[in-house]
């Protein structure tokens, strides 16, 4: 078997094992909550008979390991169960919200990835210049600030002071594409400022790490311009770490949107998760948590595969 196919198979196996462990942790975390969910739903005035009847209807009288296996099998078949708060199928609740989250993450990726690669290449090209120091200072500042603080600063500047974008991302399934882009731009810019610094600094470091290589010195002795050396010789060989950090930051754009969605009241999966926690809608919380975990595991697998394919030494090990 080809080494890449064997590596993909091994990563898939590890991913499934990790997902199983995460699902077990999610279920146990909900199971070990101190309060009784049936009692919480009915309130303190509920009688023991009504609480027992609700526990039976929700399947809470079944042993935990049986409920876990039923939940796991149902999730594998696409049956997420029903929401305790609304009674609707959880798959219906998640469908639109997941699309909104992916749209927000995709818009942020379209902005952040080209910007980070460009800034990283320019910083490496003009190493130790005023531009390099300024970009690194701004990048470190953006990384040091929490997401909600950046979000509120952008709201104050771009929404309140300048009035360029709306402060609340009010969208629905009937919103036209460009109107959706306009209303989603402010949370997308927030996520861009959060992730672009890491990708930019990794691009710069990966390129500079190769600049002392013998083949780079040979290219310089031939009189090739420094810009061409970086873009045509150093950058292709630095793709492996760059691809890894880009894909991992894309994973963060999807699973790390909870705070940003809450700040901008964006109707995504993160907002649904927070609302479900407030309503103690535990089946929805479990489903959202498992979807986030599955997304992160799949993108980690994608990062491993792309990093291997972009590096001939990893693609053809001896």
Asked if residue 105 and residue 236 are part of one domain, the reply reads yes
147-154 and 177-210 are packed helices; what angle lies between their axes, rounded to 10 degrees?
130
Residue 197 CA to residue 139 CA, distance in Å, equals 5
**Which residue blocks in 59-176 are alpha helix, DSSP H?**
64-76, 90-125, 130-144, 147-154
Residue 221 CA to residue 224 CA, distance in Å, equals 8
pLDDT interval class at 40 (50, 70, 90):
low
Residue 269 CA to residue 262 CA, distance in Å, equals 10
pLDDT tops 60 at residue 317: no
Convert the pLDDT of each residue in 9-30 to its tens digit. Answer: 888 888 888 888 988 898 888 7
Asked if residue 115 and residue 66 are part of one domain, the reply reads no
According to the model, what pLDDT value does residue 35 have?
66
Asked if residue 300 and residue 155 are part of one domain, the reply reads yes
Secondary structure letter of residue 86 according to DSSP: T
According to the model, what pLDDT value does residue 180 have?
92
The answer to the question of residue 143 being in a domain is yes
Q: What percent of the chain has pLDDT over 70?
A: 90
pLDDT tops 70 at residue 188: yes
The answer to the question of residue 178 being in a domain is yes
Please say which residue of 76, 111, 131 terminates a domain.
Answer: 76
Cβ neighbours of residue 263 closer than 8 Å, sequence gap 6 or more: 147, 148, 151, 152, 155, 187, 190
Positive or negative: CA dihedral 102, 108, 113, 116: negative
Q: What percent of the chain has pLDDT over 90?
A: 8
The answer to the question of residue 82 being in a domain is no
What the block records as the tokens of 316 is 């053809």
pLDDT interval class at 236 (50, 70, 90):
confident
The answer to the question of residue 209 being in a domain is yes
Mean pLDDT of 31-57: 70
The answer to the question of residue 86 being in a domain is no
What the block records as the tokens of 35 is 């309060």
Residue with the bigger pLDDT between 269 and 36: it is: 269
Residue 83 CA to residue 90 CA, distance in Å, equals 6
Asked if residue 214 and residue 103 are part of one domain, the reply reads yes
Q: Is the pTM of this model over 0.85?
A: no
Asked if residue 109 and residue 52 are part of one domain, the reply reads no
Residue 199 CA to residue 255 CA, distance in Å, equals 17
What kind and span of H or E run contains 250?
Answer: helix 239-255
Asked if residue 244 and residue 153 are part of one domain, the reply reads yes
Mean pLDDT of 109-122: 89
pLDDT interval class at 110 (50, 70, 90):
very high
Asked if residue 174 and residue 41 are part of one domain, the reply reads no
Domain interval for residue 151: 95-315
The answer to the question of residue 221 being in a domain is yes
Residue 274 CA to residue 270 CA, distance in Å, equals 6
According to the model, what pLDDT value does residue 72 have?
84
Secondary structure letter of residue 61 according to DSSP: T
Say if CB 169 and CB 268 are below 8 A apart: no
Closest C-alpha among 184, 127, 137, 186 to residue 162? 186
Asked if residue 106 and residue 48 are part of one domain, the reply reads no
Asked if residue 200 and residue 101 are part of one domain, the reply reads yes
pLDDT interval class at 231 (50, 70, 90):
confident
Query: How many domains does the chain divide into?
Result: 2
| 260: CATH | 1.10.3720.10
Asked if residue 114 and residue 212 are part of one domain, the reply reads yes
The answer to the question of residue 89 being in a domain is no
Asked if residue 303 and residue 262 are part of one domain, the reply reads yes
Asked if residue 205 and residue 127 are part of one domain, the reply reads yes
Please say which residue of 76, 111, 133 terminates a domain.
Answer: 76
Mean pLDDT of 46-56: 72
Convert the pLDDT of each residue in 282-300 to its tens digit. Answer: 888 888 888 888 888 888 8
The answer to the question of residue 85 being in a domain is no
């Amino acid at each position: 078997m080809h080494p890449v196919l064997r590596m993909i198979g091994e990563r898939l196996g590890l991913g499934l094992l990790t997902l199983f462990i995460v699902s077990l942790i999610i279920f146990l975390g909900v199971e070990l909550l101190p309060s009784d969910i049936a009692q919480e739903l009915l309130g303190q005035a509920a009688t023991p008979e009504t609480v027992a009847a609700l526990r039976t209807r929700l399947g809470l009288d079944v042993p935990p390991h049986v409920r876990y296996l039923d939940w796991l099998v149902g999730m594998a078949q696409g049956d997420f169960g029903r929401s305790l708060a609304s009674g609707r199928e959880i798959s219906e609740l998640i469908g639109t919200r997941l699309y909104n989250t992916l749209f927000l993450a995709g818009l942020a990726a379209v902005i952040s990835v080209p910007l980070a690669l460009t800034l990283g290449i320019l910083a490496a090209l003009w190493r130790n210049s005023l531009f390099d120091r300024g970009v690194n200072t701004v990048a470190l500042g953006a990384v040091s600030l929490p997401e909600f603080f950046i979000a509120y600063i952008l709201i104050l500047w771009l929404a309140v002071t300048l009035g360029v974008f709306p402060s609340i991302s009010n969208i629905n399934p009937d919103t036209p594409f460009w109107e959706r882009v306009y209303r989603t731009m402010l949370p997308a810019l927030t996520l861009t400022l959060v992730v672009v610094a890491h990708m930019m600094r990794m691009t710069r470091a990966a390129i500079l790490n190769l600049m002392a290589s013998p083949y780079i010195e040979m290219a310089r002795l031939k009189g090739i311009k420094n810009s061409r050396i970086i873009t045509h010789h150093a950058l292709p060989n630095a793709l492996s770490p760059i691809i890894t950090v880009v894909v991992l930051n894309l994973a963060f754009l999807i699973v790390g949107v909870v705070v940003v969605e809450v700040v901008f009241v964006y109707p995504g999966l993160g907002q649904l998760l927070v609302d479900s926690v407030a309503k103690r809608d535990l089946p929805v919380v479990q489903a959202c948590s498992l979807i986030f975990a599955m997304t992160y595991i799949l993108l980690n697998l994608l990062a491993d595969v792309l990093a291997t394919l972009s590096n001939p030494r990893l693609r053809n090990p001896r």
